[in-house]
């Protein structure tokens, strides 16, 4: 703004104790100068501070790095002015926090809720539009503990509420060991004459504490790694046991069912006549009735006698033949279903032997292709099927595996909608690329899954369709997704919707 002289803009700011800066070399907080304001290198945004915080945590690989920085903020180049603060005491310092903060930080306001000797509650109200996050709280927590170190009244600070985690403000509870004035004066006197020794001792104590904290973090990391390894071993053992049990069971059941089906087929093709035995029996009864009619005509046997003695028996034979025909049909269907389920169990048991594929598979083409494949079912049950996402999205996989994953999920959604019987039935497939991964969401507005079932639906043999399901479909889906280094989860609201989310790595 060339029409406004900058000297007028600086009026009342330069040299004013209400506007303070930190000297880069000494670390002292001093009034702002004209040259400082004119130097654009000193202009700092919230976004820049936040990026510095995040980089620091990332480089040091230490989530407590910003807290430690805040704790050490008074250690470097503390001037006489700040050393004399030790005479004032923590309680007085906390009382002055709102005014001092207002001089150089407009991102937040400070509210003192409680302040008695040895215990205080401080609230920070951050600007809603400031580009800040949890790191800013960690810095302040460290600063409050640093004040305790500075005043020789070691403080412990606990954050009870955080604005960046859903609270209306950030609330810190500060505890310290209160000291009388004469004790603070003696501490200051001792420090002034032996501050080099004290600083060195404090530095050693800090180094020891840092080593302890790092050791605690290493122990925590190793414990977590051990738990993860143990969980993987248990999962592998579970899969191995599953393989042995299901594989052996399916093998024996298949042999038994196949033998039963082979024997039973002889009743469906009696003596290779191309007819079931029940139908042959019924035909024989009909033929016998015709022969009796001929005997009646040739030998004059009374009709009443034939009707009383033979017709009821022939009728019973015909009824039995019809009944046997129905039973045969049902048993044949059950044997076929039993063999199908057994084959599915065998396939599931062999999944540990599967190898991932490395072909280029366009998921978008695969998912859109289901619209034509299931068009009859979708039209019959008035189901709307839609796919949202890019024109093409390629993963490295075996197309048969990808097809198995998504046909299972879409068939489940279709079955849920048919079960619901509502007027509006919809299956939405939403695909997006995120952090070198593809996320596929399959959502239906069916009856939903009860909350108590959500943790079990991926377990083998657990089914919400006891009359028609084997309980293996989602187990197979999970195993296939894991084979490709992906993940699957589900969210559901009863009588509203169900969403399965599959995450797979993109082709590199």
Distance CA 461, CA 315 (A): 46
Q: What is the pLDDT of residue 364?
A: 94
Q: What is the pLDDT of residue 389?
A: 94
Q: What is the pLDDT of residue 467?
A: 47
Q: What is the pLDDT of residue 19?
A: 79
Between 495 and 150, residue with greater pLDDT: 495
The pTM of this model reads 0.42
Task: Give the ranges where 383-442 is alpha helix by DSSP (H).
Answer: 399-420
CB 361 within 8 Å of CB 325: no
Percent of the chain with pLDDT over 90: 17
CB burial of 257-289 (b: ≥16 within 10 Å; e: otherwise) equals: beeebeeeeebbeeeeeeebbbbbbbeebeeeb
**One-character DSSP codes across 214-226:** HHHHHHHHHHHHH
Residue 65 confidence (pLDDT) above 50: yes
Name every residue whose Cβ is closer than 8 Å to that of residue 90 and which is 6 or more positions away in sequence: 120, 147, 148, 151, 153, 155, 174, 176, 178
Paired tokens of 434: 């995120």
Kindly report which listed range (5-14, 92-101, 245-254) carries the lowest average pLDDT score: 245-254
**pLDDT tens string 376-400:** 889 988 999 999 999 999 999 999 8
Between 107 and 347, residue with greater pLDDT: 107
Q: Decide if domain 20-199 falls under CATH 3.90.1520.10.
A: yes
Question: Positive or negative CA dihedral for 372, 376, 379, 385?
Answer: negative
Between 270 and 505, residue with greater pLDDT: 505
What is the mean pLDDT of the segment spanning 185-202? 56
Q: What is the pLDDT of residue 61?
A: 84
Q: Per-residue confidence at 173, pLDDT binned at 50, 70, 90?
A: very high
Task: Give the ranges where 62-172 is alpha helix by DSSP (H).
Answer: 65-71, 80-83, 85-88, 90-104, 134-150
What is the mean pLDDT of the segment spanning 39-64? 82
Q: What is the pLDDT of residue 489?
A: 93
Q: What is the pLDDT of residue 486?
A: 92
Q: Which of the four CATH numbers 3.90.1170.50, 3.30.360.10, 3.30.565.10, 3.30.70.1230 does domain 359-505 have? A: 3.30.565.10
CB 370 within 8 Å of CB 412: no
Residue 79 confidence (pLDDT) above 50: no
Residue 71 confidence (pLDDT) above 70: yes
Q: What are phi and psi of 358, to 5 degrees?
A: -130, 25
Mean pLDDT across the chain, nearest whole number? 78
Paired tokens of 52: 């510095």
What is the mean pLDDT of the segment spanning 91-101? 83
CB 95 within 8 Å of CB 112: yes
**Residue boundaries of the structural domains of the chain:** 20-199, 250-352, 359-505
Q: Per-residue confidence at 246, pLDDT binned at 50, 70, 90?
A: low
Residue 13 confidence (pLDDT) above 50: yes
Q: What is the pLDDT of residue 32?
A: 83
Q: What is the pLDDT of residue 463?
A: 65
Q: Per-residue confidence at 189, pLDDT binned at 50, 70, 90?
A: low
Between 70 and 89, residue with greater pLDDT: 70
**pLDDT tens string 428-463:** 999 999 878 999 999 999 888 888 888 888 877 666
SS3 sequence, 440-457? EEEEECCCCCCHHHCCCC
Counting DSSP H helices and E strands in the chain, the numbers are: 16, 13
**pLDDT tens string 304-334:** 766 676 667 777 777 777 777 777 677 777 7
């Amino acid at each position: 703004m060339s029409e406004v002289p900058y000297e007028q803009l600086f009026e009342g700011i330069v040299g004013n104790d209400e506007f303070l800066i930190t000297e880069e070399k000494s670390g002292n907080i001093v009034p702002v100068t004209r040259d400082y304001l004119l130097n654009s290198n000193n202009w700092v945004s919230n976004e820049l501070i936040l990026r510095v915080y995040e980089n620091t945590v990332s480089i040091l690989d230490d989530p407590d790095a910003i807290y430690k920085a805040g704790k050490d903020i008074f250690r470097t180049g503390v001037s006489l002015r700040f050393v004399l603060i030790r005479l004032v005491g923590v309680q007085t310092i906390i009382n002055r926090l709102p005014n001092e903060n207002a001089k150089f930080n407009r991102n937040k306001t400070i509210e003192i809720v409680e302040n008695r000797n040895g215990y205080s509650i401080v609230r920070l109200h951050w600007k809603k539009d400031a580009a800040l996050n949890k790191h800013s709280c960690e810095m302040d927590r460290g600063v409050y503990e640093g004040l305790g170190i500075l005043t020789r009244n070691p403080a412990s600070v606990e954050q009870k509420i955080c604005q960046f985690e859903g609270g209306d403000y950030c609330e810190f509870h500060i505890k310290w060991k209160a000291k009388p004035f004469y004790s603070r004066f003696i501490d200051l006197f001792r420090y002034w004459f032996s501050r080099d020794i004290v600083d060195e001792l404090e530095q050693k104590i800090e180094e020891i504490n840092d080593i302890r904290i790092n050791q605690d973090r290493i122990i925590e990391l190793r414990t977590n790694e051990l738990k993860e390894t143990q969980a993987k071993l248990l999962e592998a053992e579970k899969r191995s046991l599953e393989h042995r049990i299901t594989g052996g069971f399916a093998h024996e059941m298949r042999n038994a069912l196949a033998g039963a089906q082979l024997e039973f087929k002889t009743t469906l093709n009696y003596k290779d006549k191309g007819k079931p035995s029940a139908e042959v029996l019924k035909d024989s009864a009909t033929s016998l009735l015709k022969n009796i009619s001929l005997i009646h005509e040739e030998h004059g046997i009374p009709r009443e006698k034939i009707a009383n003695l033979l017709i009821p028996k022939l009728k019973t034979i015909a009824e039995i033949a019809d009944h046997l025909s129905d039973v045969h049909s049902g048993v044949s269907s059950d044997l076929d279903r039993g063999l199908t389920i057994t084959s599915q169990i065998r396939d599931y048991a062999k999944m540990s032997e599967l190898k991932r594929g490395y072909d280029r598979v366009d998921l978008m083409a695969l998912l859109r292709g289901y619209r034509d494949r299931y068009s009859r079912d979708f039209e019959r049950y008035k189901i709307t099927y839609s796919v949202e996402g890019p024109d093409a999205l390629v993963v490295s996989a075996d197309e048969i595996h990808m097809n198995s994953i998504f046909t299972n999920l879409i068939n489940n959604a279709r079955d849920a909608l048919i079960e619901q019987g509502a007027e509006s039935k919809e299956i939405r497939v939403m695909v997006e690329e995120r952090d070198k991964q593809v996320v596929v969401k399959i959502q239906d507005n069916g009856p939903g899954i009860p909350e108590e079932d959500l943790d079990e639906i991926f377990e083998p043999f657990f089914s919400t369709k006891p009359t028609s399901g084997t309980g293996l479909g989602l187990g197979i889906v999970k195993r296939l997704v894991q084979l490709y280094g992906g993940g699957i989860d589900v969210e559901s609201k009863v009588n509203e919707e169900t969403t399965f989310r599959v995450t797979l790595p993109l082709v590199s």
